[in-house]
Amino acid sequence: MKYLFGPVPSRRLGHSLGIDLIPFKTCTYDCIYCELGRTTHLKDKPAAYMSAKEIKAELDTFFANHHPPVDFITLGGSGEPTLNANLAQIVEIVKNLNKAPLAVLTNGSLLWREEIVNALLKADVVLPSLDTVFIKTWKKINRPHPLLKLETIINGLKGFRRKYKGQIWLEILFVRGVNDTEVEIEALHRVLEEISPEKIQLNTVVRPPAERGVEPLTKKDLEEIKEKLGPKAEIVVDFKRPIEERAELLNLREEIIALLSRRPCVLEDIVHALGAHINTVIKMMDGLQKENLVDAYLHNGKRYYLIRKGER
């Protein structure tokens, strides 16, 4: 599969069948915490990337040949999905399948654009981000395209809320010493009351970030913030539920490479995402490392695998 990946275990969406709508690291932001690394193509407006026709063909093939549990079909992947000018067509295709609810992962930076708002009105869940309401912090943590304006983005989120009848699960990713102060949290709280999402999902740095020195908050820190933000706030934790193994796994090597091309993974992530036996995955990872296709390193006591630079 060129555009589909998973189902992968998601901390927020259960078993999520992902659709990658954007070339690798094409985004409106260059966030310091991004697990995919630095943004290589910083954009401020949509363009024609992956075609709706090709994505439909992959979805038809997937559902004709696979039967793993799927809680959501998710538009996301390795860049900002709302940058794809074919977004409205792709949303229509997924909804017409009637296979699973549609979720859209977005940094929320383009929800002021009318064509994007209209495209997302049919989604079941939209999961935007808002890490800060202060321009200085925004430029430090999200490193946006220079033509974007934070005030426009915040007003866009408020306007989207007024039009959109589905669920909004808004994520805040906290970085120690950057957007976790009392002033930051109080200001965020005021704006969130106007946006009125169904859920406020608190996150912090879990996977290796784009920049060194980007530190996570502790569970206690997040619990304290949760109390301040009220009953809609919840802490997003690691997804633990096991996934059913597939009896036959085709093209395991290619599937692992495709998965690791999108994000670093620990061994358990690969097992759950691909439904393979752990011993099979261990042997495959050993082979990929010997072929110099995959690197491994320790981060916070966990061993992460990723595609070696130059192999993506």
Q: Is residue 243 part of a domain?
A: no
Residues 296 and 205 reside in one and the same domain: no
Residues 291 and 182 reside in one and the same domain: no
Last residue of a domain, one of 202, 235, 268: 235
Instruction: Report the SS3 class of residue 10.
Output: strand
pLDDT of residue 157: 98
Single-letter code of the amino acid located at 41 = H
Q: Is residue 245 part of a domain?
A: no
For residue 310, report the phi and psi dihedrals to the nearest 5 degrees: 95, -10
- Tell me what percent of the residues of the chain surpass a pLDDT of 90: 54
Please state whether beta strands 72-76 and 41-42 pair in parallel, antiparallel, or not at all (unpaired): unpaired
Q: Residue 273 is part of which domain span?
A: 252-307
Q: Is residue 149 part of a domain?
A: yes
Residues 264 and 156 reside in one and the same domain: no
Last residue of a domain, one of 235, 263, 296: 235
Q: Is residue 240 part of a domain?
A: no
pLDDT of residue 237: 55
pLDDT of residue 310: 63
Q: Which residues contact 96 (CB under 8 A, 6 or more apart)?
A: none
Residues 150 and 256 reside in one and the same domain: no
Rounded to a whole number of angstroms, the CA Rg of the chain reads: 19
Q: Is residue 283 part of a domain?
A: yes
Residues 200 and 71 reside in one and the same domain: yes
How many domains does the chain fold into? 2
Measured CA to CA, the distance from residue 61 to residue 243 in angstroms comes to 21
pLDDT of residue 87: 96
Residues 18 and 78 reside in one and the same domain: yes
Residues 191 and 295 reside in one and the same domain: no
Q: Is residue 19 part of a domain?
A: yes
Last residue of a domain, one of 235, 261, 282: 235
Note the pTM of the prediction, 2 decimals.
0.77
Residues 110 and 195 reside in one and the same domain: yes
pLDDT of residue 67: 66
Q: Is residue 244 part of a domain?
A: no
Residues 58 and 110 reside in one and the same domain: yes
Measured CA to CA, the distance from residue 294 to residue 305 in angstroms comes to 7
Residues 111 and 27 reside in one and the same domain: yes
pLDDT of residue 246: 37
Burial class (CB in 10 A: 0-12, 13-18, 19+), 101: middle
Residues 296 and 171 reside in one and the same domain: no
Question: Which residues are bridge partners to 167 per DSSP?
Answer: 125
Instruction: Report the SS3 class of residue 59.
Output: helix
Residues 68 and 211 reside in one and the same domain: yes
Q: Which residues contact 139 (CB under 8 A, 6 or more apart)?
A: none
Q: Is residue 10 part of a domain?
A: yes
Q: Among 153, 145, 114, 156, which Cα is nearest to 43's?
A: 145
Q: Look up the CATH number of the domain holding residue 69.
A: 3.20.20.70
For residue 256, report the phi and psi dihedrals to the nearest 5 degrees: -65, -45
Q: Look up the CATH number of the domain holding residue 271.
A: 1.10.10.10
Task: Output the tens digit of pLDDT for each of the chain's 312 residues.
Answer: 678 887 877 778 888 888 988 887 899 999 998 877 788 889 999 998 888 999 999 899 888 887 678 999 999 877 899 999 999 999 999 999 888 999 999 999 999 999 999 999 999 999 999 999 999 999 999 999 999 999 999 999 999 999 999 999 999 999 999 999 999 999 999 999 999 999 999 999 877 677 778 888 989 999 999 999 999 999 985 534 333 333 344 478 888 998 998 889 988 888 878 767 666 787 788 778 888 899 988 888 888 999 987 655
